[in-house]
Structure 1
């Protein structure tokens, strides 16, 4: 590639930003990642952003050094010695490096284990328990029943909400969950499942069999109480869920 070309002269599908969006950052060269941070080029020879990124790496690799190792502790002054790098570009590069360091150093939080209806209800208490309108939500879990997240999918009236199975499973798949608990609230405080609740649960359990994403439970919450349809109906016997 000729690095004096402007990025706008490169075919759209080959530009760093477009390639990152299409294929992910890991598929870009280091110079292309630098180009995204730089935004524009210039410097000696009026380099493109990609060319300037490559030039920075060449300058840092003098004397046989690994430029990525040097970047870990490079100073603003060292970067600004390179033609084409002013305070704006230098601080952008340094901020990206520091973010990378912090992300690498941060240990992932221990995920909450959702191993009972009580634990599941507690997870959704804020979103569902005391709301004046019916809400339908999902609890997204990994293969070990650890919490990935929660999502309120629909908000209805004081007496009903609509949740389409396709919308529910679309969100589950989009979030990369391997198991799911669904839930909704009854603002009246009654824990009695309606026929609509039973029908929806049946549809979801059948869909889960097809998609191989087990529905572990359907909870009803309201007025400080909760009810597990898995514990109080035979639906999971009628529609066994994949292991």
Structure 2
């Protein structure tokens, strides 16, 4: 691939963005990844974005080190000394480098086991507990009840939110969870379940039976407290989850 070949002249299936979307970022060359960050080359008749990415790597290799090793610690001024790299391109590249550093340095949290309503409420508290609008969220678990993540599915008005079972199970399947807990907040602080809450829970329990993805509980939270529908209703006896 030559330095001057424009992205527009490359078959669409071979363009960096399209290749990333179809194959994943790990399958792109370093020059292609830089080209996505650069977005444009040096202008008409000069280096393309891919060509400029290749040129940057060539210039960095003059330090007698691996180019990415140099890029890890390069200053904005040093990067802008490379022809074709101005403040916009330099800051975009350095921001991406810094994000990469931070994501690498953060140790993955150990998967917390969600084994009680209190543990579930703690996992979802930040998203729901003190919100002024009613929110509906799902807590995603693996087969050993370890936390995969949480997701706010819908946000409603100050008094109600609407959610459809398919929205919940779509997120569960998308994230590869094998169990779930649902939760929503009552901004009023009254944690008594409404008829709608009971009806929705019944629908979700039936859907969970069909999909064989156990629904472990439905929490209502608000004003620092929580209520477990599994503890105060007989719904889990009517719709056993084999959990």
* TM-score bracket for the superposition, by shorter chain length: 0.7 to 0.9
Deviation per residue, 1:20-50 (Å, 9 max, x gap): 234332221111011122222239x722110
Deviation per residue, 1:88-118 (Å, 9 max, x gap): 4334333322332222122234565432112
Residues 217 and 102 (structure 1 numbering): CA distance in 2 closer, same or farther, change over 3 Å? Answer: same
Residue 219 (str. 1) matches residue 209 (str. 2) = no
Residue 97 (str. 1) matches residue 87 (str. 2) = no
Residues 49 and 198 (structure 1 numbering): CA distance in 2 closer, same or farther, change over 3 Å? Answer: same
Residue 51 (str. 1) matches residue 51 (str. 2) = yes
Do the aligned residues in 1 keep the contact of 2:154 with 2:162 (CA within 8 Å)?
A: no
Do the aligned residues in 2 keep the contact of 1:213 with 1:242 (CA within 8 Å)?
A: no
Partner residue of 1:166?
166
Aligned pairs (5 A) from 1:1-243: 1-42=1-42, 46-62=46-62, 65-76=65-76, 78-109=78-109, 112-124=112-124, 135-143=135-143, 144-146=145-147, 148-151=149-152, 153-155=154-156, 158=159, 161-185=161-185, 187=188, 189=190, 191=192, 194=195, 196-221=196-221, 226-241=226-241, 243=243
Residues 40 and 182 (structure 1 numbering): CA distance in 2 closer, same or farther, change over 3 Å? Answer: same
Q: How far is the alpha carbon of 1:222 from its aligned partner?
A: 5.7
CA distance in 1, matches of 2:82, 2:148: 47
- Runs of 4+, deviation exceeding 6 Å: 130-133
Instruction: Kindly tell me the number of residue pairs found equivalent between the two proteins.
Output: 240
Do the aligned residues in 2 keep the contact of 1:191 with 1:221 (CA within 8 Å)?
A: no
CA distance in 1, matches of 2:49, 2:130: 54
Residues 107 and 190 (structure 1 numbering): CA distance in 2 closer, same or farther, change over 3 Å? Answer: closer
CA distance in 2, matches of 1:188, 1:95: 42
Q: How far is the alpha carbon of 1:190 from its aligned partner?
A: 6.0
Secondary structure at the aligned position of 1:59 is classed as: helix
Q: How far is the alpha carbon of 1:73 from its aligned partner?
A: 2.9
Secondary structure at the aligned position of 1:61 is classed as: helix
Structure 2-normalised TM-score?
0.76
CA distance in 2, matches of 1:208, 1:79: 54
Larger CA deviation: 74-83 vs 46-55: 74-83
Structure 1-normalised TM-score?
0.76
